[in-house]
Structures are given as C-alpha cells and as structure tokens.
Amino acid sequence: MYKAALASIQAVCGFSSAELDMIAGIMQLVHFPAGELLLKKGETSLIMYYLHNGSARHYYIHETDDIDNDITIGLYTPGVWVTDHFSFTSRQPSRNNIVAFEDCELVALHVESVHNLIAKSQAFLKLGMMLNKVQLTDHSQSLLSAEERYLDLLNNNPQIIQAFPLKYIASYLRITPETISRIRSRIK
C-alpha cells in the first residue's frame, strides 16, 4: 500500500532500502469520506498526505463586501503529496482548508514521527527536500494568458480537468468559467 508513496520519496531523496523501511514504519493509511476536512482553517498542519485514491481541494474563503468567495489554491489527484505548505513549515495555524472532494485513501506522514526518525539519523533530514518538491504553482501570478494556463493544465494534469467541476478549475486558474468555455470551444 505504501509502495507509491515510498517511490515518490525515493525519487526525491534517494534513501537506502533500510531507510525506506524505517519510513514505511511510520506511515499510516487513512481514509476521508467526500466532504470531510483534512485540514481546517485555524489548525496547524502537522501531517503530509500522499494521495493514493480520490481527490482533494485546497481553498480559502475570501470575505469581501459580505460575500464569501471560495478561492481554490490546489486541486489534487492520486500520486501527489497534499499539505498546507505554509502552515506545515512555519507551524502557524492555516488560513486555508483542505477537503476530500471524493472519498480519499491517503498515506499520512506525521511531522512528529519524521522528527523521531531524524533523531535516529541525520539522513532523514532529506525528507524536508520532499516538501520543497511539492507543486506550489500559483497560477494567479503566472505571466501566461488564460488560454495558456488552461492548456498547460490540460497537457500536464488532464486528470484534474476530469476530476473537478469547471468552477473549481476556473478558480484555480484565476479565470472565469465562461472564459474556460470560450477556450474549450476555440481549441476543439
């Protein structure tokens, strides 16, 4: 069950077989039903999750003029690590939520367990490298046009387009659903 998560770690960190066995020993398999929060605003992120099955969404509520705008900052499908990077690294309460969009099966790595491994061997400091490899693309800061952002997502992460409704994809790309519809009609 932990094979894909360990392969992901190995690709970044290059651990020995014995070290990978130690990491596997601290992993936990967890399940979240659709709609359940993996992380709630105000909580500190102390766990990194490897998404084995399902999908999850990372978002915040932007409150303006008495209207809550739900802003998507991450869309996750199997094969990626999920965490609130800022909260996890700073040990500050999160300003965001992470929700299971579909029923999720995840492999959890608790920061306390990782620290226990580091106490046994400094080689495990390399696990920090893994966090830095987590995709932190901020499409709102992109210099790409709306069409280029959509095409980039379509070409590099088509599973996201298949797994999530248009409104979340549009929010993630910082464009309107209508713009995506126009782009789709042009590229067909």
CB-based contact 54:100 (threshold 8 Å): yes
130, pLDDT greater than 80: no
Quickly state the pLDDT bin for 139 (edges 50, 70, 90): very low
Can you tell me the mean pLDDT for 86-115? 94
pLDDT-derived band at 136, boundaries 50, 70, 90? very low
Q: Convert the pLDDT of each residue in 141-171 to its tens digit.
A: 467 888 889 999 999 999 999 999 999 999 9
Q: How many CB atoms within 10 Å of residue 140? A: 12
pLDDT at site 133: 61
Task: Work out the mean pLDDT of the chain and round it to a whole number.
Answer: 88
Q: Judge whether 139 and 30 are in contact, CB under 8 Å.
A: no
Please tell me which residue, 147 or 136, carries the higher pLDDT value: 147
pLDDT at 131 over 80: no
Closest CA to 16 of 6, 26, 29, 28: 6
Mean pLDDT in residue range 79-84? 93
Contacts with 158 (C-beta within 8 Å, 6 or more apart), sequence order: none
Percent of the chain with pLDDT over 70: 90
pLDDT in tens, 59-77: 998 776 555 588 999 999 9
Given the candidates 2.60.120.10, 2.40.110.10, 3.40.47.10, 3.30.1490.20, the CATH classification of the domain at 3-136 is 2.60.120.10
pTM of the model: 0.88
